[in-house]
């Protein structure tokens, strides 16, 4: 899983080339972005967030979860105030981190927020991500 940032197609091409370079993905095999593919004896799937042909980052999806929280109105007002004062809308990464910091002041980053239970991977906001990875997880052999 990685962020598209400002170039979805470029990120897809880059990750596909890197997987081929590392001999994880055979040349000529379909891209593992938003697909599960078999290559060199491995199942591979890659999710470029926030989703197919979209620009942004995982935080763009995280904001969809945060919008359902009671703290959202406060965060939204702060974001609008910052935009009015500076002329720039705060980046989704900043907005997500504000929520994470409010919920757990010593926590930094959405990855750690998922681990700590501040963000819920089972929230409906993450359904597109789960749809890509669930088949991989459900087919793992029992431990």
pLDDT digits (tens, 9 = 90+) for 83-141: 999 999 999 999 999 999 999 999 999 999 999 999 999 999 999 888 877 777 665 45
Confidence at residue 115, expressed as pLDDT on a 0 to 100 scale: 94
Confidence at residue 143, expressed as pLDDT on a 0 to 100 scale: 47
Q: For residue 30, is it within any domain?
A: yes
pLDDT tier at 76, thresholds 50, 70, 90: very high
Assess whether 73 and 117 both reside in one domain: yes
Assess whether 13 and 74 both reside in one domain: no
Q: For residue 141, is it within any domain?
A: no
Report whether pLDDT(17) > 70: yes
Please give the share of the chain, as a percent, with pLDDT higher than 70.
Answer: 94
Q: For residue 134, is it within any domain?
A: no
Assess whether 46 and 63 both reside in one domain: no
pLDDT tier at 64, thresholds 50, 70, 90: very high
Q: For residue 20, is it within any domain?
A: yes
- Tally of domains in the chain: 2
Cβ pair 43, 72 in contact under 8 A: no
Assess whether 76 and 103 both reside in one domain: yes
Q: What is the mean pLDDT of residues 65-80?
A: 96
Assess whether 48 and 66 both reside in one domain: no
Report whether pLDDT(34) > 90: no
Assess whether 48 and 100 both reside in one domain: no
Range of the domain at 38: 2-53
Q: For residue 135, is it within any domain?
A: no
Confidence at residue 99, expressed as pLDDT on a 0 to 100 scale: 97
Q: For residue 93, is it within any domain?
A: yes
Q: For residue 137, is it within any domain?
A: no
């Amino acid at each position: 899983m990685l962020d598209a940032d400002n170039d979805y197609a470029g990120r897809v091409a880059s990750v596909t080339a890197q997987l081929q370079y590392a001999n994880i993905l055979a040349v000529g095999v379909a891209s593992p972005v938003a697909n599960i593919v078999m290559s060199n004896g491995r199942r591979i799937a890659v999710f470029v967030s926030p989703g197919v042909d979209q620009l942004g980052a995982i935080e763009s999806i995280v904001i969809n979860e945060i919008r359902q929280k009671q703290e959202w109105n406060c965060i939204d007002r702060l974001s609008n105030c910052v935009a009015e004062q500076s002329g720039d809308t705060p980046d989704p990464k900043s907005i997500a981190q504000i929520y994470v910091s409010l919920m757990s002041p010593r926590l930094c980053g959405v990855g750690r927020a998922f681990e700590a239970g501040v963000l819920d991977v089972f929230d409906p906001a993450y359904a597109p991500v789960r749809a890509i990875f669930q088949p991989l997880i459900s087919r793992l052999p029992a431990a």
